[in-house]
Structure 1
Amino acid sequence: LGLSLRSCGNNLPALGIALTVFALLFDFLKRRKSWSRYPPGPTSLPFIGTMLQIDFHNPHLSFTQLSKKYGNVFSLQNCWRNLIVVNGFKAVKEALVQKSEDFADRPYFPIYEHLGFGENSEGVVFARYSRTWKEQRRFALSTLRNFGMGKKSLEQRVTKEAGFLCSAICSEKGCPFDPHFLINNAVSNVICSLIYGERFDYDNKKFQRLLHLFEQALNEETGFLSQLLIVVPLLLRIPGVPQSIFRSQKKVLDFIDELLKEHKTTWNLTQKRDFIDAFLQEIEKAKEHAGSSFNDNNLCMVTFDLFSAGTETTSTTLRWALLYMLLHPDIQCKGHRGRADQRGCQWGFFPGKVHEEIDKVIGRDRSPQMEDLVNMPYTNAVIHEIQRYGDIAPVGVPHMTYRDTELQGFFIPKGMTVIFNLSSVLKDEMVWEKPHQFYPEHFLDADGQFVKREAFLPFSAGRRACLGEQLARMELFLFFTSLLQHFTFHLPEGQARPREVGHFAVTLAPHPYQIQAVPR
C-alpha cells in the first residue's frame, strides 16, 4: 500500500497534466459543436472585417437589409471584434425578456477612460452588469422617485414647464421658427430640476451652449472613424486623438463638472435638495470604502447619463410629434382652408381628432393632467404612433452576453457584443398592419379604445430598459397635449414639405424644419 501511494504521489504532476489536457480537449470539442451553431453573416475582410457592409449613418437600415439575407440573428465583425445583430420582435423578445440576464452586460467603452474617467466611473448606462451597476441603478431610481418621479409633484413641475414653453412659442407671434432648441430646453429643464434643483430660462446662453455641445457630442459617436476608434482602442492611446475626435464629449463632461463644482459651494450635508445632493451624501459615507462607485468622477458620469437620457429621446420625440402634425393635419385639427396647398398639406374640413378630444376632455381653461390620459384614447394612440414611427433609438446601446447562451437556436458565447435592432421591432411587417406609414390606428381597437401592443419597445426591455421610461411617458403626454391645446401648427407659406426620414446620431432625429404656431 505504501509503495502504491508513493507511486501515485510521484505521478501526480503527470496525472494533473493529463486531466487538464482532457478537460481542455473536452471543452474544445463542446465549444466546437456549439460554434457550429454560431449565427451566419457576411464574408469578413482582413482587418476591417465587415465594417464596409454597414452604413454607420443609418445602421438600423443596414441591419434590416442584412437580416433579409442572413436571418433575424446574424454575425458581423468590426475589425477583430465579433458582434451579433438581433432583428424582429420574436428574436428581440426572446433575448431581452425571456433571457434578460444572459444579455444584460455591456461591452467596454474605452473612450471615457481616455477622457479622464476610469475605473468605478462607468455611470449607469454604460456600466458593466455588476454589483456596481445594480447599486447605481437602484440608487438612481429610488432617488429620482424621492424627488417626485411618478408623483403628482413632478407632474405639476412638467405642467408648469409646458406653460413656459407655450409662452415662448407665443412670443414668436405667428412667425416661422425652428422649435428644436425651445423643446430641448423645456424637456431638459424637467430632468435638471430633479438632478440640479434648477431650471434654465430659454435665453440662458450658458445652458444653450450645453445643449448645442451635447448635440455635437451625439454626432461625434457616429461614422466610420468613431466606430473604428471604439473597436480598436489602441488607437485612442495616440496623444490628442480622443480629445480631437471626441472634442464635444469632453466639453460636455467638463461643463457638467463645472456645474457640479458650483453646486458643491452651496451644498449642506444635512439637506437633500436634489439628486446631486443625495449622491454627495453617498460619497461622504463611502470615503472609508476604497473602490466605491460613489465618487466624484462617477457623479459626473451618472449626471451625464441622466441628463442625456432625460433630454435627448423625449425632446426628439416631441420634435417628431410636431413634424407629424404638420404632415398629417387631419390628425391634428379640424382644418382651416378648404383646399390643398402647394406644400402638399390637405387643409379641408377634417375631423381633427386630437384637438377635438382635448377640447372634450380637458377644455381650454385648465392644464392637462395625467388622469386625463385614460379618457383620451386617440391622443394616446397618436403619441404611441409618434414613438413607433419616429423610431427614436433605432439600435439603442450595445449589449454584451453575461454568459454562454442560445438565441433562436444559435449559440452566443459569453462576452459577445450584441446589437438589438429595435427599428426592426417597431416596423416588423409580421406585427404591424402598416409598419411604414404613420397610422395611429395601430393602437386602437374596433371600438376606438386604446390597446397596448407587445411589440411597442421604444424604451427597450429587460434589465437594461430605460430607467427614465416613467418620466418620459409623463412628459410626452403633458407637453404634447399642452401644445395642441394652445396651438394649431402648420408649415409657413413657401416652405417645402419637410423630410420624413431622420438623421441618425445615436438617436434618429428629424432634419431641421420650421413651423408656424397659430393660437387656438
Structure 2
Amino acid sequence: MDISSTSLLVGLVVVLLLFVRWRRKTYRLPPGPPALPLLGNILTMDNRAPFKTFLKWSETYGPVMTAYLGTQRVVVLVGYDTVKEALVDNADDFVGRAPVPFVLRALKGYGLTISNGERWRQLRRFTLTTLRDFGMGRKRMEGWIQEESRYLLDAFRETKSHPFDPTAYLSRTVSNVICALVFGQRFSYEDNNFLRLLQIFSGVLRFGSSSWGQLYNIFPRLVELIPGKHHQIMDELEEIKTFSMGKIQKHKETLDPANPRDFIDCFLIRLKQEKDIPNTEFHYDNMTATVLNLFLAGTETTSTTIRYALMLLIKHPEIQEHMQKEIDAVIGQDRSPMMDDRKSLPFTDAVIHEVQRFVDLVPLNVPHYAIRDIAFRGYMIPKDTVILPMLHSVLRDKDHWDSPWTFNPKHFLDTNGNFKKNPAFLPFSAGKRSCVGESLARMELFMFIVTLLQHFTFSCPGGPDNMDTTPEISGFANLPRKYHLIATPR
C-alpha cells in the first residue's frame, strides 16, 4: 500500500471516529467504551457471554451506557432501579421491540414478538384475552397440566431407574400444554412429526444463543452471503410454518363460529369479522407468525427451566429432600397438586422462584427499541437505538439479593420460613412488553416440579459433585449442559 493510500485510510478512520464522537455529543448519549468504525465494540466483548462484558463495563460507565454492535448503537440498562425506571415508570417510552434480524427474516415482521405500534397492541390484547378465555392461569388450565403430568410420570417410570437425558421428555410435556391452547389437541410422545418440531425448536434457541447467531444479528447481510448453520435453521423454520399452516387450514375447514375450540379458531373468527377492513391486523400472515411465537416460546423457555430445576435439585439433595417432606405433609403422594397448594408450600415455592432467579434464562432480555427519541436520566437515546434492559443485572443485583451468585432459596423466605416476594424478581421482564405467557409458565413450573417430586427422587451417575450447573451457552439464553439423571420411584 503506497503512502497516499495509507493516508487516505487513516483519514477515513479519523473522520469516522470524529463522527461517532459528534453523534454522542449531539444526542447527549450515555457514556460507553470507545468503538471501532464498522466493528463497534465486538472485538472487546466476550462473545460466549456478552452480558458479562456489559456488566463489567457498567462498573466504569455507570448503569446507563452506550455500546456498538457493529454499526448498531445499543444502550444497555443495568440494575433493578434502572430497568424498573425504564420499563415500568417510563413504559410508553420503552415499549418498542427491536427488529432482530434473525427473527425479522424468519417472520417477515409479522406476529406478536417483534411487532410494534398498532399491530403489536392489537395482537397482544387479542392474545392475552383469548389465552385467558381458554384457561391460562385458571382451573381449566390446571386440569390440562394435571393430565399432562400423568403422561410425564408414565414416561419417567418407563426408564426403570436407568440414567436418561430428560430434555426430550420435558419438551414434549410442556409443548403439549401450549398445543392444547393453540391447536386444541395434545400429541403422542411417539409422534415423529411432533418430535421433529421439538428438535427444531431446540436448535433455533441454541443457534440464537450461539456466537454464530449473534454474528448474524450484527452483520445479517454479510452472513447471508456465506455458508453456515443459519441457512439450515431458516429451512427448518419453514417446516414449522408449514405444519402450523396445515393446522390452520384444518381448523378453517371445521370451524364452528359459535363454539371456538382454541386460539386458532378465535383468530379465524376475528379474521372473518374484519375481512373488509383494509388495514386490519387479523390476517393469515399475523396468525401464522403468532402461532409460531406461542408454540416456540411456550415450549423451550419453560421446559429448559424445569431441566435446570432438576439439575439444581440433584446438585443440592438436601433441598430436594426438604421439598419432598413439605409436599408429603401438605399434599401426600396420592392426589395431584393444585395451584391453591402453593400458599401451603412456602419452601417449595421459594425454591422454584430461586431456580428462575439463579438460572437467569434470558440474561440480556428480549431487545427493546427506541421508536422515537427518548430522554432518560439526563441522556438522549436517539430513535432506532436498540435497548437492552439487562435481566441478568436485575436477578444478580447485590442491593436486592443477599448472595446473588449462589443458589439460595432463603432469598424468598422470611425469618419465620414464610414465602416473601422480592421486587427484583423479574424473570419474565416487566412493563408492557412482559411475557404474555407468564401466568401459564408459573402454573407449569409449580405443578410439574411438585408432581415429579411427589413420585421420584432424582440423582445422577457420579453423584451431586458430578453435576455441572454452569451454562453451556450464554448468548441470548443461558442453556444448560446436557446431562443424565436417574428417576428413582419413591
TM-score norm. by structure 1 comes to: 0.85
Note the C-alpha offset of 1:291.
3.2
Report the Cα distance in structure 2 between the residues aligned to 1:251 and 1:506, rounded to whole angstroms.
Answer: 23
Residue aligning to 1:268 = 256
Question: Given that residues 85 and 420 in structure 1 are in contact (C-alpha distance below 8 angstroms), is that contact kept between their aligned partners in structure 2?
Answer: yes
Say whether residues 1:467 and 2:422 are aligned partners: no
Q: What pairs up with 1:119-158 in 2 under 5 angstroms?
A: 122-128=110-116, 130-158=117-145
Aligned partner of 2:312 among 316, 324, 329: 324
Aligned partner of 1:212 among 199, 207, 211: 199
Count of residue pairs the alignment pairs up: 467
Aligned partner of 1:504 among 467, 474, 478: 474
Aligned partner of 2:296 among 308, 318, 326: 308
Q: 1:331 to 1:224 in 2, by over 3 A?
A: closer
Report the Cα distance in structure 2 between the residues aligned to 1:162 and 1:245, rounded to whole angstroms.
Answer: 31
Say whether residues 1:362 and 2:319 are aligned partners: no
Aligned partner of 1:410 among 358, 369, 379: 379
Residue aligning to 1:56 = 47
Q: Comparing 396-405 with 467-476, which one deviates more in the overlay?
A: 396-405
Aligned partner of 2:155 among 129, 144, 168: 168
Query: What is the aligned-residue RMSD (CA, Å)?
Result: 2.3
Residue aligning to 1:423 = 392
Report the Cα distance in structure 1 between the residues aligned to 2:431 and 2:236, rounded to whole angstroms.
Answer: 31
Q: 1:54 to 1:262 in 2, by over 3 A?
A: farther
Q: Which amino acid in the other structure matches residue 73 of structure 1? A: V
1:389-417 deviations in whole A, cap 9, x for unaligned? 01111112100124333334332223321
Note the C-alpha offset of 1:468.
0.6
Aligned partner of 2:33 among 29, 42, 50: 42
Q: Comparing 190-199 with 404-413, which one deviates more in the overlay?
A: 404-413
Q: Which amino acid in the other structure matches residue 134 of structure 1? A: R
1:458-504 deviations in whole A, cap 9, x for unaligned? 00000000011111111111111101111110112579712211123
- Partner SS state of residue 102, structure 1: coil
Residue aligning to 1:339 = none
Counting aligned pairs with the same residue, the percent is: 40
- Partner SS state of residue 274, structure 2: helix
Report the Cα distance in structure 1 between the residues aligned to 2:167 and 2:431, rounded to whole angstroms.
Answer: 31
- Partner SS state of residue 492, structure 1: coil
Residue aligning to 1:283 = 271
Aligned partner of 1:382 among 346, 351, 366: 351
Report the Cα distance in structure 2 between the residues aligned to 1:34 and 1:94, rounded to whole angstroms.
Answer: 24
Say whether residues 1:476 and 2:483 are aligned partners: no
Report the Cα distance in structure 1 between the residues aligned to 2:249 and 2:45, rounded to whole angstroms.
Answer: 42
Say whether residues 1:294 and 2:285 are aligned partners: no
Question: Given that residues 313 and 507 in structure 1 are in contact (C-alpha distance below 8 angstroms), is that contact kept between their aligned partners in structure 2?
Answer: no
Question: Given that residues 404 and 413 in structure 1 are in contact (C-alpha distance below 8 angstroms), is that contact kept between their aligned partners in structure 2?
Answer: yes
Q: Which amino acid in the other structure matches residue 196 of structure 1? A: F
Residue aligning to 2:489 = 519
Q: Comparing 456-465 with 102-111, which one deviates more in the overlay?
A: 102-111
Residue aligning to 1:95 = 86
Q: 1:110 to 1:295 in 2, by over 3 A?
A: farther
Residue aligning to 1:434 = 403
Question: Given that residues 314 and 464 in structure 2 are in contact (C-alpha distance below 8 angstroms), is that contact kept between their aligned partners in structure 1?
Answer: no
Note the C-alpha offset of 1:421.
1.3
Note the C-alpha offset of 1:48.
1.1
Question: Given that residues 426 and 435 in structure 1 are in contact (C-alpha distance below 8 angstroms), is that contact kept between their aligned partners in structure 2?
Answer: yes
Q: 1:397 to 1:519 in 2, by over 3 A?
A: same
Q: 1:48 to 1:33 in 2, by over 3 A?
A: closer
Q: 1:84 to 1:501 in 2, by over 3 A?
A: same
1:341-395 deviations in whole A, cap 9, x for unaligned? xxxxxxxxxxxx2011101110112111111111111000000000000111111
Report the Cα distance in structure 2 between the residues aligned to 1:185 and 1:401, rounded to whole angstroms.
Answer: 37
Question: Given that residues 40 and 70 in structure 2 are in contact (C-alpha distance below 8 angstroms), is that contact kept between their aligned partners in structure 1?
Answer: yes
- Partner SS state of residue 75, structure 1: strand
Question: Given that residues 316 and 464 in structure 2 are in contact (C-alpha distance below 8 angstroms), is that contact kept between their aligned partners in structure 1?
Answer: no
Report the Cα distance in structure 1 between the residues aligned to 2:209 and 2:24, rounded to whole angstroms.
Answer: 37
Q: 1:493 to 1:113 in 2, by over 3 A?
A: closer
Note the C-alpha offset of 1:295.
1.2
- Partner SS state of residue 371, structure 1: helix
Q: Which amino acid in the other structure matches residue 302 of structure 2? A: T
Residue aligning to 1:68 = 59
Question: Given that residues 214 and 248 in structure 1 are in contact (C-alpha distance below 8 angstroms), is that contact kept between their aligned partners in structure 2?
Answer: no
Question: Given that residues 51 and 77 in structure 1 are in contact (C-alpha distance below 8 angstroms), is that contact kept between their aligned partners in structure 2?
Answer: yes
Question: Given that residues 114 and 236 in structure 1 are in contact (C-alpha distance below 8 angstroms), is that contact kept between their aligned partners in structure 2?
Answer: no
Q: 1:453 to 1:354 in 2, by over 3 A?
A: same
Question: Given that residues 346 and 418 in structure 2 are in contact (C-alpha distance below 8 angstroms), is that contact kept between their aligned partners in structure 1?
Answer: yes
Question: Given that residues 27 and 381 in structure 2 are in contact (C-alpha distance below 8 angstroms), is that contact kept between their aligned partners in structure 1?
Answer: no
Q: Comparing 206-215 with 254-263, which one deviates more in the overlay?
A: 254-263
Question: Given that residues 101 and 402 in structure 1 are in contact (C-alpha distance below 8 angstroms), is that contact kept between their aligned partners in structure 2?
Answer: no
Q: Which amino acid in the other structure matches residue 75 of structure 1? A: T
Report the Cα distance in structure 2 between the residues aligned to 1:90 and 1:421, rounded to whole angstroms.
Answer: 11
Q: 1:40 to 1:139 in 2, by over 3 A?
A: same
Report the Cα distance in structure 1 between the residues aligned to 2:239 and 2:44, rounded to whole angstroms.
Answer: 32
Report the Cα distance in structure 2 between the residues aligned to 1:47 and 1:33, rounded to whole angstroms.
Answer: 16
- Larger Cα-atom Rg: 1
Q: 1:323 to 1:113 in 2, by over 3 A?
A: closer
Question: Given that residues 195 and 274 in structure 1 are in contact (C-alpha distance below 8 angstroms), is that contact kept between their aligned partners in structure 2?
Answer: yes
Question: Given that residues 54 and 62 in structure 1 are in contact (C-alpha distance below 8 angstroms), is that contact kept between their aligned partners in structure 2?
Answer: yes
Note the C-alpha offset of 1:153.
1.1
Question: Given that residues 364 and 390 in structure 2 are in contact (C-alpha distance below 8 angstroms), is that contact kept between their aligned partners in structure 1?
Answer: yes
Q: Which amino acid in the other structure matches residue 132 of structure 2? A: R
Question: Given that residues 211 and 475 in structure 2 are in contact (C-alpha distance below 8 angstroms), is that contact kept between their aligned partners in structure 1?
Answer: no
Unmatched runs of 5 consecutive residues or more in structure 1: 1-30, 334-352
Question: Given that residues 32 and 61 in structure 2 are in contact (C-alpha distance below 8 angstroms), is that contact kept between their aligned partners in structure 1?
Answer: yes
Q: What pairs up with 1:189-228 in 2 under 5 angstroms?
A: 189-228=176-215
Q: Which amino acid in the other structure matches residue 106 of structure 1? A: R
Q: 1:493 to 1:38 in 2, by over 3 A?
A: closer
Note the C-alpha offset of 1:132.
1.6
Q: Comparing 436-445 with 388-397, which one deviates more in the overlay?
A: 388-397
Note the C-alpha offset of 1:100.
1.0
1:61-82 deviations in whole A, cap 9, x for unaligned? 2221222222221111122211
Residue aligning to 1:6 = none
- Partner SS state of residue 99, structure 2: coil
Q: 1:253 to 1:396 in 2, by over 3 A?
A: farther
Question: Given that residues 177 and 516 in structure 1 are in contact (C-alpha distance below 8 angstroms), is that contact kept between their aligned partners in structure 2?
Answer: yes
1:408-441 deviations in whole A, cap 9, x for unaligned? 4332223321012101110112221111111000
Note the C-alpha offset of 1:271.
2.8
Residue aligning to 2:455 = 486
Note the C-alpha offset of 1:217.
1.3
Q: Comparing 102-111 with 245-254, which one deviates more in the overlay?
A: 245-254
Question: Given that residues 213 and 249 in structure 1 are in contact (C-alpha distance below 8 angstroms), is that contact kept between their aligned partners in structure 2?
Answer: yes
Q: 1:396 to 1:255 in 2, by over 3 A?
A: farther
